[in-house]
Amino acid sequence: MPISSHIHRIARSALDLIFPVRCASCEAPGESPFCGPCADTLVPLPPGCPVCSVPGEDEVLAALRPRRCGHCRERAPPFAHASAPYLHGGALAEAIHRLKYEKREDLARPLGVLFEACAPPRADVIVPIPLHFSRLRERGFDQARLLADEASRRFGLPVAGLLVRTRATGQQVGRDRAARERNLRGAFAVCGELRARRVCLLDDVLTTGATAAAAAQALLDGGAARVEVRTLARAP
């Protein structure tokens, strides 16, 4: 064995002692990002709306005749496209919950591997959807920023913090779509030069798309040429 790979192996096992490889959901040792049983709960995003990717009622029909969903037909969102590699649920939902609410920022790296399961965005720059300063202070880190760094590595695109959340919008959970939209109106502002660049907005989960829509609108108003959205998971 060449000496360099020997040293590499020693370094790796030392790292494994400090940061043992574990399942991001159930902590089973030795497998990353998920152990076998947890990986079995991951559901690749089925065919659906070509704009917001909400899964179609009839998956086969949606794949054959891509049609915008009722919400996108009624009022097209400001982003051109939103997609995610997997549906939000099972072990992935558990891992995202741990990342956000159990201060497990170390999980951003293994979860970032999941971006490999989706096509690269048509974009010049990745912009994470920011937390409000008060939430950032409470959590200590911004999970979207950490995931954006991982997506950047995979898609070969730079990350730029070009958005700020100008007011705390509280929890979106429990609000319907209209209430979410009202709550988010004007909640984001651009802080930097967009120069007609194409932006890929990045976040952990897309639910109704109201947050992504508000962020995308701010970017377009600020001079972005096109905005698409990429998240780790999409609510079914």
Contact residues for Zn ion, defined by CB under 5 A: 23, 25-26, 28, 35, 38, 49, 51-52, 69, 72
Nearer to Zn ion, 75 or 137 (CB): 75
Nearer to Zn ion, 25 or 208 (CB): 25
Residues with Cβ within 8 Å of 137's Cβ and at least 6 positions away in sequence, in order, are none
Residues with Cβ within 8 Å of 219's Cβ and at least 6 positions away in sequence, in order, are 127, 162, 163, 190, 194, 199, 201, 227
Least Å distance, CB 40 to Zn ion, is 10
Least Å distance, CB 208 to Zn ion, is 10
Least Å distance, CB 23 to Zn ion, is 3
Nearer to Zn ion, 35 or 187 (CB): 35
Least Å distance, CB 91 to Zn ion, is 6
Nearer to Zn ion, 51 or 215 (CB): 51
Q: Rounded to an integer, what distance in angstroms lies between the CA atom of residue 106 and that of residue 126?
A: 21
